[in-house]
Structure 1
């Protein structure tokens, strides 16, 4: 089960620095959730507690009904796959194929036919089939990110955590990421993403969680979050272009996406013509 529950969790480093303070969050299986906030807001530490890379100093983290304190990081990582912001932190094989096969072959010890099937599906979804024999470190950073994603997909966890996947991506990369995330949700997977890309968050995710000063200050739909000027100001997040433009033009609608803005402008233009 891909449910995640953080119950009043805090994390303090040994030097006394508190990175996360009294955070509670529930993510249901199959949700797409984006976590937004400035550097230092506590986003990365929060999600790393979800796969046991960080153990809370206070509170409880539940993954699929399991209390993470009762399991090793390796055990939880089989259920919660993590894609690092920098793919070079997790890539270490000589070919893309070997990288993607590692999880099901070595960690999960699956039979060869299942390893091949999983690897093939992951490579196809990530758009890497034609690059399977390439050395990952010969590929651009933007493509190496997809290699890391494919490697996690091949292990087939219930929950996926993507840390800043859009950094360094062009438009085609963003389209590919959107496709991957929606495909995973279609398989019943939970996808949680840290991102600074507001447009990506609006267009790809069902729910937005905003963090500031080590706490969650609000969560809701993209429409609810990006029309809350007080929350955006507190988290130092920019108001989306479509929202700003719609207000300046007094369109009188809760517009959040560029597509909604274009539709509203077309309706206004049609009204003027009549």
Structure 2
């Protein structure tokens, strides 16, 4: 599976995260999760759709549509830097060449809902890290959500819960030529063949060009155990008319997250 939009020229100097704990930018747990996300993105960049979506039938429509119409884009992780500036400086020191940050809309809303925060105080920023991938190309293959510890909505209990469960970790595909009929087939196939429940999404006007971008999130149903629990479809443009028509399975999504809390374990999500 190819990787979309290779970019960046800075030479990556990836070192063990523990070597940077002295600057205080990130906790030790954050550094370990960052390293896990980097390793996972490198592996995912060359993996087949059937491997990434497992458990799923290799000869089914979910795999066929994903292989034909989607491109692996990134793995994501939520981190809690001491300050936004300190976090970005740390990433730069590691040679990860973070892209300019943009405000988060969807993750900010999810965190606000999950933890009862005022969205205005939930200051979440998005950056992307350029990696050198196994095929030799460079691509912004890790998405990092940054929720600084000096922001008004931060609480250590939020950090502890999110670090323990990894609710915002996911594997993302870009759909280069999205259309409502194609997306409807993808959503249906992912649901019926991979146990992936539509859990919402949104439009971010700050990403993806003049029309922004639309993200669609899916969580693995509790009856379909897999180390990758969440996925994203990322599409250029404003597709809110389409996403508003997707049927929501609120009870099934709630059960999936309840099971996640009970069985939290290490590994990519």
Q: TM-score by structure 1 length?
A: 0.27
